[in-house]
């Protein structure tokens, strides 16, 4: 399966939140997000599901707004890549790796790794293609 990259380089095609998902899959994802510490309480399926990045969605680093303004699909297509904004996103994402290793099964961790922890690799690959 070809990756579906978010603006920040997350691989939506493997993300446990990206739709379509069953109600049971969403519940399991909500439980995982709570276990890892991505949420401070167990959220409902409506809150955990994701249909992809838009400027209306909350983005901690303002990446979606930036790529939207520049009319780019993701940061890897940007001439300023890697900028301080995406570097901060890489650093913040990496902070969750130890907790994921502790809390997740091997299978869960591999999904999290592919979906979120390889964003820098994903964007580097895109950036090389755009040169």
pLDDT digits (tens, 9 = 90+) for 100-109: 999 899 999 9
53 is a domain residue: yes
pLDDT given at position 67 = 93
Q: For a pLDDT cut of 90, what percent of the chain falls above it? A: 72
6 is a domain residue: no
Range of 50's domain?
23-130
pLDDT given at position 1 = 58
104 is a domain residue: yes
pLDDT given at position 129 = 83
3-class secondary-structure state, position 116:
helix
94 is a domain residue: yes
Beta carbons of 73 and 11 less than 8 angstroms apart: no
The pTM of this model reads 0.87
125 is a domain residue: yes
pLDDT given at position 66 = 92
CA distance 82 to 85: 8
126 is a domain residue: yes
2 is a domain residue: no
Q: Binning pLDDT at 50, 70 and 90, where does residue 44 land?
A: very high
Question: What is the total count of domains within the chain?
Answer: 1
């Amino acid at each position: 399966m070809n990756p579906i990259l978010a603006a920040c380089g997350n691989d939506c095609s493997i993300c446990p939140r990206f739709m379509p998902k069953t109600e049971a899959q969403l519940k399991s994802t909500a439980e995982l997000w709570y276990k890892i510490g991505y949420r401070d309480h167990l959220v409902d399926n409506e809150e955990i599901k994701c249909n992809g990045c838009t400027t209306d969605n909350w983005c901690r680093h303002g990446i979606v707004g930036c790529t939207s303004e520049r009319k780019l699909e993701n940061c890897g297509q940007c001439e300023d890549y890697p900028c301080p904004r995406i570097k901060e996103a890489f650093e913040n994402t990496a902070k969750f790796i130890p907790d994921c290793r502790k809390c997740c099964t091997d299978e869960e961790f591999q999904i999290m790794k592919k979906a979120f922890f390889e964003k820098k690799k994903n964007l580097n690959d895109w950036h090389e293609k755009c040169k």
